[in-house]
Chains A and B, each alone.
Chain A
Amino acid sequence: MGYKITSSEERNEKATEYETKSMLYMMNYYNKADEIKWFAIDFFNDVTGINKYQDSCFDVQSKGVKDIAPMLLGRYLVTLFKNYLSNFNFVDYILFVESVSKTIRKEISSNVFVFKDLSEDIQNAIRDGLIDEANNKTYIEDNTLITTDKLDDFLKKVSFVIDNKTKEQYIKDAAELSDAVIIDNVYLRKIFKEIRDKQSSKKNNNCEGEILDSIGCFYRYDKYISKDEIQDLIVCRICFNSKFKNLKTVPQSFIKVINGIDETIIEERIEECQDAIFRLLSNKNNKKAYWELFSEINYVIKRNPLYDINSIYNAVDKKKISAVHHLDVISCKYFISLIKESLK
Chain B
Amino acid sequence: MILIKSFCIGNDKEAFFIDSFTNGVNIIHSDDNNKGKTIVSQGIFYTLGNTPIFPAGFDNYQDYYYIVEIEKDGGIITICRKNNFFVVNDGEIKTFDSVNDFKRFFNSNLSRLPIMLNNGISQIVGLELFIEMVFLPQDERTTSNIFNKGRYTKEDYIEFLYAYMNCSKYIDPDVILGYHSQIKRLEEDRKVLKKSSSLLKSKKLEASFATYTASKLRIDEKMKQIEKCKDAIAELITTKNRYISKITKNELLLKEINSLNRELEVGKFTCVDCGSNRIAYEEKGSSVKFEITDNDTRNQIKSIISTRIQVAKEDIMDIEAKLFAKQQELATLMKDDEVTMENLLFYKDKILDASVVDSKIYEIDLKIYDLKTKITAAETSTQEEILSKENVYNKFLEYMNEFYSIAEPDDSLVIDDIFTKKSINYSGSQGALFLMARVYAASKVMNLDFPIIIDDFRGGELSTIKEGHVINLFERLNKQVILSCTLKDEEQEKYTAINGVNDISFNNVSKFHLLNGDDISHLVLLLNKLAINLDIQ
Binding site for B on A (CB under 8 A): 187, 190-191, 194, 198, 201, 204, 222, 224, 229, 233, 236-237, 240-241, 244-245, 247, 271, 274-275, 278-288, 290-291
Whether B286 lies near A288 (C-beta < 8 A) is yes
Asked whether A282 lies within 8 Å of B290 as measured between CB atoms, the reply is no
Residues of B contacting A224 in the complex (Cβ-Cβ under 8 angstroms): 287
Interface segment out of the listed B58-66, B257-265, B452-460, B468-476: B257-265
When the two chains form their complex, are residues A278 and B290 in contact, meaning their CB atoms are under 8 A apart? no
Q: Known contacts A275-B253, A285-B263: does B301 contact A244 (CB below 8 Å)? A: yes
- A198's nearest neighbour on chain B, judged by CB, is B290
Contact of A222 among B287, B301, B305 (CB under 8 A): B287
Q: Is the CB of A285 within 8 A of B264?
A: yes
> Is B297's CB under 8 angstroms from A237's CB?
yes
Q: Closest CB-CB distance, B308 to chain A, in whole Å?
A: 8
Report chain B residues within 8 Å CB of A222: 282, 287-288
A194, A283, A286, A291: the one within 8 Å of B294 (CB): A194
Q: Which residues of A contact B291 (CB under 8 A)?
A: 194, 284, 287
Q: Is B411 an interface residue (CB 8 A)?
A: no
List chain A residues, Cβ under 8 A from B286.
288
Number of residues from B at the complex interface, CB < 8 A: 30
Given A187-B296, A229-B290, A288-B286, A278 and B301 touching (CB < 8 A)? yes
Q: List residues of chain B with CB within 8 A of the CB of A236.
A: 292
**CB pair B280 A201 closer than 8 Å:** yes
Q: Contact check, A287 vs B257: say whether CB atoms are below 8 A apart.
A: no
Which chain B residue has the least Cβ–Cβ distance from A290? Answer: B292
Residue B283 is within 8 A (CB to CB) of chain A in the complex: yes
Q: Check B293 for interface membership: any CB of A closer than 8 A.
A: yes
Q: Which residues of B contact A190 (CB under 8 A)?
A: 294, 296
Chain B residue numbers with a CB within 8 Å of A194 are 290-291, 294
Check if B151 is an interface residue, CB within 8 A of chain A.
Answer: no
* Cβ contact within 8 Å between B297 and A244: yes
B382 at the interface (CB under 8 A from A): no
Q: With A and B bound together, what is the CA distance between A272 and B301 in angstroms?
A: 14
CA distance A236 to B293 in the complex (A): 8
| Complex interface: chain A residues within 8 A of B288 (CB) | 222
Q: Contact at B300–A284, with CB atoms within 8 Å?
A: no
Is B224 interfacial (CB-CB < 8 Å)?
Answer: no
Chain A residue, CB-CB nearest to B288? A222
- What are the 4 closest A-B residue pairs judged by CB atoms, nearest first? A282-B260, A282-B257, A244-B300, A283-B260
Q: Does B304 contact A (CB under 8 A)?
A: yes
A229 proximity list for chain B (CB < 8 A): 289-290
Q: Is the CB of B293 within 8 A of A287?
A: no
Task: Write the B322-359 contact mask toward A (1 if CB under 8 angstroms, else 0).
Answer: 00000000000000000000000000000000000000
Closest chain-A Cβ to B68's Cβ sits at a distance in Å of: 107
CB neighbours (8 Å) of B280 from chain A are 201
**Partner of B297 from A198, A275, A281, A284 at Cβ < 8 Å:** A281
Per DSSP, chain A at the interface is helix
Query: What's the nearest-Cβ distance from chain A to residue B335, in Å?
Result: 35
Sample (12) of A-B pairs whose CB atoms are under 8 Å apart: A190-B294, A233-B290, A237-B294, A245-B300, A278-B253, A279-B257, A281-B297, A281-B301, A282-B260, A282-B298, A284-B260, A285-B260
Q: Which residues of B contact A291 (CB under 8 A)?
A: 289-290, 292
Give the one of A236, A275, A280, A286 with max B CB within 10 A: A275
Provide the residues of chain B in CB contact with A284, threshold 8 Å. 260-261, 263-264, 291-292
Question: A288 contacts B300, CB within 8 Å?
Answer: no
Q: Report if B19 contacts A (CB, 8 A).
A: no
Query: Which residues of chain A are within 8 angstroms of B249 by Cβ–Cβ distance?
Result: 275
Chain B residue with minimal CB distance to A240?
B297
**In the assembly, what is the distance between CA of A320 and CA of B213, in Å?**
75
Partner of B292, one of A198, A247, A286: A286
Q: Mark interface residues in B245-261 (1 if CB within 8 Å of A CB, else 0).
A: 00001000100110011
Identity of the chain A residue whose Cβ is nearest the Cβ of B280 in the assembled complex: A201
Q: Is B203 an interface residue (CB 8 A)?
A: no
B264 near A240 with CB under 8 A, answer no
Cα-based distance from A291 to B474 in the complex (angstroms): 148
**What's the least CB distance linking B315 to chain A, in Å?**
13
Whether A279 lies near B256 (C-beta < 8 A) is yes
| Cα–Cα, bound, A259→B259 (Å) | 35
Assess the B292–A287 pair: CB atoms within 8 A. yes
* Chain B residues whose C-beta falls within 8 Å of the C-beta of A286 in the assembled complex: 292
CB-CB < 8 A to B263: which residues of A?
Answer: 283-285
B283 and A288: CB pair below 8 A?
A: yes
Measured between beta carbons, the chain A residues less than 8 angstroms from B260 are 279, 282-285
Q: Within the complex, what minimum Cβ distance (angstroms) separates B54 from chain A?
A: 108
B57 to chain A, nearest CB (A): 114
A235 CA to B263 CA, complexed, in Å: 25
Instruction: List, in ascending order, chain A residues with CB within 8 A of B256's CB.
Output: 279, 282
Closest residue of chain A to B300 (Cβ to Cβ) is: A244
Q: Which residue of B lies closest to A186 (CB)?
A: B296
- Asked if A204 contacts B293 (CB within 8 A), the reply is no
Whether A287 contacts B289 by the Cβ 8 Å rule is: yes
Assembly CA distance A224 to B286 (angstroms): 12
Shortest CB-to-CB span from B291 to chain A, Å, is: 7
B305–A278 touching, CB < 8 Å = yes
Interfacial chain B residues near A271, Cβ < 8 Å: 308
Asked if B278 CB lies within 8 Å of chain A CBs, one says: yes
Residues of B within 8 A of A237 (CB): 294, 297
- By beta carbon, the residue of chain B nearest A286 is B292
Residue of A nearest to B293 (CB): A281
Taking a contact as CB atoms under 8 Å apart, the answer to whether A281 and B292 are in contact is yes
